[in-house]
Amino acid sequence: MSPPRFNRIFGLQMLTLALLLAPLVWLGLYAADKHELAQKRIEQAEPRYARLLGLVARREDIGQFANEANQITARLAFPAAQDAAQTGSEAQQRIRSIFADSKLDIGSIQVLPVKEGPHFDRIPINLRVEGDLAGIHNALTLLATQSPVIGLENWTLQTIGAVRPASNQRLGAQFNFFVVRARS
């Protein structure tokens, strides 16, 4: 028996069918690949979208917290609209006024160079005064009520002259203050 002969017309029909189906198969694979890529992107975006929905839902609370943070910053720091030299000069005048009103003799007061930070500038101010302990106490008490805050980094206190237990002792003090200015 001889093997069946390949039908030439059937072969040409199959080849034509394969050529017609090849672009459709390629298009189907391409669409499946794009669908998989889109699914991955959706999965990556879902947590971000959920966070955004949470932020939108808490919009009023976030606005309230932002207002409170701005109020606290205004109490603690000088505004960014004011330049550093102006801020240092204003703080220097406040300190001078407080210590002079407390009946202390101001030896020197100077604003030191600004130390820049990422969100705030730190402006150091050095002060030397002489007077009695009550005046120093009064001045420090008044400084605690200032807004924006005038911070006290460190201080030294020394007696001037001989120590006399029966009288008010004259003291010399050096204070290292600082103020902060918000950066824009």
Longest CA–CA span in the chain (Å) reads: 141
Taking only the tens place, the pLDDT of each residue in 66-87 is 999 989 988 899 998 988 999 9
Pairing of strands 115-116, 151-159: unpaired
* Residue 6 pLDDT: 63
- Residue 41 shares a structural domain with residue 91: no
- Residue 53 shares a structural domain with residue 140: no
- Residue 174 shares a structural domain with residue 106: yes
Q: Is 17 among the domain residues? A: yes
Q: Which residue numbers in the chain have pLDDT < 50?
A: none
* Residue 181 pLDDT: 94
* Residue 3 pLDDT: 54
Domain boundaries, position 15: 8-57
- Residue 89 shares a structural domain with residue 142: yes
* Residue 63 pLDDT: 92
Distance CA 85, CA 87 (A): 5
Q: What is the DSSP code (8-state) at residue 5?
A: P
What is the tally of structural domains in the chain? 2
